[in-house]
């Protein structure tokens, strides 16, 4: 006799069996797909976490310097001769004859000063000299007479010596009065204020009726036919500054460049700034350049070809010195101690520590340590790794 369950199974339609099998297979596929998606997402998340934990860096190659170096320094332009003109006497300004911008010659009259006190002292000195000369003549006559009497032994030698001493004293008083008169005449001559050299009046700080004293300048005069340019050269370039070295000046308000020549240096560094004061000169006979201007002075300095240079942003400052970081084939940072040379602003010369072509990290983080894993921005391959392949 047949089992009822077997009897029921025999009566299930074949189409229903196929449907049930398809559903079971579908559920299995969905479950497998869900598991695979979750595993992929977990793997991606772990990879993202690992990449996030590795420092992202940018790299560049060490450049070899060329044979010549272009150095640009700020310069101050000054007149070859520049002086304030003072009065050597006291009084009131009577009149002035030149104003700013006037070209004057050496000895030309600039102003006149009224000095009534000096005039009165001069007249008094003339009277004092006349009195001294009269006393001297009388003492001379008396001395000659007593010398004659001494020859006949009519007077004692003591009395004759006293008359001779009186004459000598009167002679000295006359010399003193004459010197005082000459001094006052010189002061009277200082009523005329004259130009000390050929040049241009750059300032007038007085006017008619002003009280003139010896501690305030009346005019300023400058000889700008030739100009001096002073630059402060940093210590690494000081040895290159030799007389005869050519430079070029560039001005913000004028196109083109003007050649200038180094004529002298201070031969000593300023201990505060570690710079060497250097003087250049340029001909300005046409008056194209103005004293007091600011100029960029360009120098072409001789250099050693092939010297490594790195960006200023690649330095790592540590208590033990300066370092740069290179990237090895294993994508790990290696800190190298370096010895810097001359500073070119955006680049710095390196005496030792790296070679041209080495790959270094620019803008390294302060927390970067030796042998730290890094990841190069843009997915680049380290130069050392490429070379090994």
Q: Kindly give the parts of the chain with pLDDT less than 50.
A: 1, 5, 7, 49, 381-389
Residue 364 to residue 352: CA distance in whole angstroms? 20
Q: Which of 278, 286, 289 is nearest to 252 (CA)?
A: 289
> pLDDT at position 386, please?
40
Q: What is the pLDDT of residue 331?
A: 81
Q: What is the pLDDT of residue 380?
A: 53
| pLDDT given at position 228 | 96
Instruction: Give me the pLDDT at residue 3, please.
Output: 55
CA distances from 221 to 139, 164, 227 (A): 53, 55, 14
Count the neighbouring beta carbons within 10 Å of the beta carbon of residue 177.
21
Strand order in the sheet with 63-64: 63-64, 308-311, 347-352, 339-343
- At residue 242, the 3 state secondary structure works out as coil
């Amino acid at each position: 006799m047949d089992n009822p369950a077997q009897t029921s199974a025999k009566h299930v339609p074949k189409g229903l069996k196929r449907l049930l099998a398809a559903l079971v297979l579908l559920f299995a596929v969905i479950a497998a797909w869900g598991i695979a998606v979750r595993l992929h997402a977990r793997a991606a998340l772990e990879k993202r976490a690992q990449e996030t934990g590795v420092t992202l860096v940018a790299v560049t190659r060490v450049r070899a310097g060329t044979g010549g170096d272009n150095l640009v320094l700020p310069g101050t332009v000054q007149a070859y001769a520049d002086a304030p003109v003072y009065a050597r006497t006291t009084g009131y300004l009577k009149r002035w004859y030149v104003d700013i911008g006037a070209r004057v010659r050496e000895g030309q009259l600039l102003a006149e000063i009224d000095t009534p006190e000096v005039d009165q002292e001069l007249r008094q000195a003339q009277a004092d000299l006349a009195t001294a000369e009269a006393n001297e003549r009388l003492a001379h006559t008396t001395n000659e007479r007593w010398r004659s009497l001494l020859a006949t032994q009519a007077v004692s030698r003591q009395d004759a010596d006293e008359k001779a001493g009186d004459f000598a004293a009167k002679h000295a008083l006359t010399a003193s009065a004459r010197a005082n008169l000459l001094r006052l005449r010189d002061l009277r001559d200082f009523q005329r204020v004259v130009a000390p050299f050929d040049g241009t009046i750059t300032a007038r700080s007085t006017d008619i009726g002003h009280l003139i004293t010896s501690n305030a300048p009346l005019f300023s005069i400058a000889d700008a036919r030739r100009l001096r340019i002073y630059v402060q050269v940093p210590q690494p370039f000081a040895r290159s500054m030799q007389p005869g070295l050519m430079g070029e000046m560039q001005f913000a308000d004028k196109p083109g460049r003007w050649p200038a020549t180094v004529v002298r240096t201070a031969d000593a560094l300023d201990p505060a700034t570690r710079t060497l004061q250097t003087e250049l000169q340029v001909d300005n006979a046409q008056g194209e350049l103005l004293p007091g201007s600011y100029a960029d002075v360009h120098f072409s300095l001789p250099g050693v070809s092939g010297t490594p240079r790195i960006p200023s942003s690649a330095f790592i400052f540590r208590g033990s010195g300066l370092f740069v970081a290179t990237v090895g084939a294993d994508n790990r940072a290696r800190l190298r101690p370096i010895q810097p040379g001359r500073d070119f602003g955006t680049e710095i010369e390196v005496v030792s520590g790296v070679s041209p072509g080495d790959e270094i990290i620019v803008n390294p983080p302060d927390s970067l340590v030796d042998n730290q894993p890094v990841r190069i921005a843009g997915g680049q391959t380290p130069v050392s790794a490429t070379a090994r392949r």
